[in-house]
Copies of this chain bind each other. A is one copy, B any other.
């Protein structure tokens, strides 16, 4: 594998509309993410874990999936990905405020534990890496029914050290299943740097153990992300089996609202990573290309903030779950 160089946009066959949509998806996630942190600092949301810095790859993958047909086994950073697939800021605000209406879990799980049957997004628990095997099983079911749908699963680089990573890639590769394994490599597992996680320079090197393509891309380069995602999804759909797609991203926040990364990372590093934020970079590119006119991006943000304010108001007004409802849904009621 080799780090892919971002090609000229033209070569990507990406029209202005797609590029705008891509930027808008990224921005929608970012402003929602910012709002979550505000709510957390105000003490209104006890916990948040952020997608900031991971937006480009998530949106690129989501835009190459077919909603209603393809499935997603996400992890807690996949805010942008769930939005592209049709979940809304309101859905996640209901979750961060633990409201009964929260479609992810009815306020039962921590925020960012995504899930929605309506969007083919399977429910996420806290133990990492387990969902990779679920993705393989989902793709196996597609295969058995002769459907060419794709299952995408995403996870961090630290999670590739767990046994389920190996068992899932091994099974999916052995049966050439339609899975795209997306590693959002931000270099850290909470405080543990990737050098203490593995010996190879790229997570995608792990693909060689399974005889499948391993691709590493600059996760701050939205265009490369889009191209790589499209290839991986097409490969999965056409029956050529899984891809291990690694996006090198930066975690622009502490691991979560319970963490303070200044305890284990230098100010210089953090500053350097901020400078590579995928958002301004993509915005700059689109402005150079004339896809975004001066002011467009700000207008877009303003418009998204309106949606966000409405959603926040709605979520805050929504009802808390009733205590007794804790007893429900341990088993299917009909059973």
Contact = CB atoms under 8 A, between A and B. Distances in A.
A162 B165 CA distance: 10
Nearest to A171: B161
Given A163-B162, A167-B163, A200 B209 contact: yes
A18 interface: no
Interface in A152-191: 161-167, 170, 173-174, 176
Chain A binding surface SS class: helix
Interface string A185-203: 0000000000111111000
A211 interface: yes
Given A196-B174, A210-B198, A163 B161 contact: no
Nearest to A210: B199
A165 B170 CA distance: 12
Contacts of A256: none
A208 interface: yes
A261 B166 CA distance: 29
Interface residues of A, number: 25
A83 interface: no
A101 B329 CA distance: 55
A164 B206 CA distance: 15
Count chain B CB atoms within 10 A of each CB in A174, A195, A205, A212 and give the residue with the most.
Answer: A174
Interface string A301-335: 00000000000000000000000000000000000
B173 A162 contact: no
Contacts of A196: 174
Nearest to A206: B209
Residue with the greatest number of chain B CB neighbours at <10 A, chosen from A198, A199, A207, A211: A199
A195 B176 CA distance: 12
Contact of A200 (B162, B166, B206, B210): B210
Given A200-B211, A205-B211, 17 more contacts: A161-B166, A161-B167, A161-B170, A163-B163, A163-B167, A166-B167, A170-B198, A173-B198, A174-B195, A174-B196, A174-B197, A174-B198, A198-B210, A199-B210, A199-B212, A205-B208, A208-B209
Interface of A: 161-167, 170, 173-174, 176, 195-200, 205-212
